């Protein structure tokens, strides 16, 4: 695949500042294209950041880490801002991830963040779960499912967030390995948090610093956002919902949680998201 070079993009928008382009992380393009189409906005094009070549030295120039799609989008937004000020109609969109808790939110007119940790968290609501309840004949009410998932995934988020804050760069277990710390029941999900943290730190050679890890984790716990959608990682939500449905039903029509996540995005309706701040900002491109 031929990648757009940064200088080519700058020349493109210099010659055509009226172009309305949106750059997003990885596989998020389909969701945003659907949004613009549903709003009847036909002159906006959505591109994956994977189509753009951002040199590693430029990413590092802004104090960002190489190898991250989010950081590539942020670096692109900064380059465009420096070159054009407010002259172009381009938006760069990233998942907020842990950035609000870590004080890393960048402020520039080209860059937009999801209102919650990730795109998937717009689907963390009763309307979406009601669709799933009907489609899959689930015997459990949507709010019960959401409450059960939130209780355990907020704890997982805290563990991930603490690692980010300490900058230990510990390797988090893949979902197949993570599953052994969970007990999936129809009415409840149990997470063996203490066993997980112990093994997590031992595996990464940090167990001697358990006390420090726990102190940072408790400090974050006191300041958690009231809206749980800011306290759960998007992929964790998709994975946990997939596992819970599989437990309840005994099987699913999806090969794995990733296939389920793609289907889950299709359940969204325009009126679920169009009044959220991010999508209000994107809709202004129609002006």
Query: For 39-88, what is each residue's pLDDT tens digit?
Result: 999 999 999 999 999 999 999 999 999 999 999 999 999 999 999 977 79
Model confidence band, residue 177 (pLDDT cutoffs 50, 70, 90):
very high
Whether the pLDDT of residue 217 is over 90: the answer is yes
Model confidence band, residue 17 (pLDDT cutoffs 50, 70, 90):
very high
Model confidence band, residue 180 (pLDDT cutoffs 50, 70, 90):
very high
Whether the pLDDT of residue 163 is over 80: the answer is yes
Q: What is the mean pLDDT of residues 92-98?
A: 98
Model confidence band, residue 255 (pLDDT cutoffs 50, 70, 90):
confident
Q: What string of H, E and C letters represents the secondary structure of the chain?
A: CCCEEHHHHHHHHHHCCCCEEEEECHHHHHHHHHHHHHCCCCCEEEEEHHHEECCHHHHHHCCCCCCCHHHHHHHHHHHHHHHHCCCCEEEEEECCCCHHHHCCCCCCCCEEECCCCCHHHHHCCHHHHHHHHHHHCCCCCHHHHHHHHHHHHHHHHHHHHHHHHHCCCCCCCCHHHHHHHEEECCCCEEECHHHHHHHHHHHCCCHHHHHHHHHHHHHHHHCCCCCHHHCCCHHHHHHHHHHHHHHHHCCCCCCCHHHHHHHHHHCCCHHHHCCCHHHHHHHHHHC
Whether the pLDDT of residue 26 is over 90: the answer is no
Average pLDDT of the chain, as a whole number: 95
Q: What is the mean pLDDT of residues 244-265?
A: 89
């Amino acid at each position: 695949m031929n990648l757009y070079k940064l200088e080519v993009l700058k020349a493109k928008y210099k010659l055509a500042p009226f172009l309305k382009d949106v750059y997003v992380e990885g596989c998020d393009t389909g969701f945003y294209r659907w949004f613009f189409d549903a709003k009847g906005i036909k002159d906006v094009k959505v591109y994956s950041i994977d189509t753009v070549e951002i040199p590693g030295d430029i990413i590092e120039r802004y104090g960002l880490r190489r190898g991250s799609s989010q950081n590539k989008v942020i670096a692109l937004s900064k380059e465009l801002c420096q070159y054009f000020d407010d002259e172009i109609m381009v938006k760069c969109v990233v998942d907020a991830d842990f950035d609000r808790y870590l004080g890393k939110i960048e402020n520039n007119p080209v860059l937009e963040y999801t209102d919650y940790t990730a795109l998937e968290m717009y689907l963390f609501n009763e309307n979406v779960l009601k669709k799933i309840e009907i489609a899959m004949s689930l015997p459990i009410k949507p709010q019960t499912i959401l409450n059960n998932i939130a209780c355990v995934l907020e704890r997982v988020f805290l563990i991930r967030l603490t690692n980010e804050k300490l900058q230990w760069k510990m390797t988090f277990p893949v979902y197949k390995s993570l599953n052994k710390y969970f007990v999936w029941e129809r009415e409840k999900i149990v997470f063996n948090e203490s066993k997980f943290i112990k093994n997590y730190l031992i595996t990464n050679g940090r167990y001697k610093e358990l006390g420090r890890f726990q102190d940072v984790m408790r400090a974050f716990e006191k300041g958690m956002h009231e809206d749980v959608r800011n306290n759960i990682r998007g992929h964790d939500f998709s994975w946990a919902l997939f596992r819970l449905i599989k437990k309840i039903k005994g099987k699913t029509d999806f090969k794995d949680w990733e296939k389920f996540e793609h289907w889950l995005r299709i359940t969204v309706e325009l009126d679920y998201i169009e009044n959220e701040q991010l999508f209000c900002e994107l809709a202004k491109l129609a002006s």
